[in-house]
Amino acid sequence: MFWIYLILAGVFEVAFASFLKLSEGLSKPIWSILFVVCGALSFFLLCKSLKGIPVGTAYLVWTGI
């Protein structure tokens, strides 16, 4: 289950970066809200995955995705 959390965290991290670009400097409200939500979900899921995966491994996979 921890690996699923980690993979989902990586997917939300990709969405986080994409929505940041689409928000054009946080000037477009819909994309800005999606940016914040995806960022929060990414970090939340990363924290949950750290309960069963070592930090170094989790960070490597999370940033690699």
What's the pLDDT tens digit per position in 5-60?
Answer: 999 999 999 999 999 999 999 999 999 999 999 999 999 999 999 999 999 999 99
Which residues have a Cβ under 8 Å from the Cβ of 6 and sit 6 or more positions away?
45, 46, 49, 53, 58, 61, 62
pTM of the model: 0.89
The length of the chain is: 65
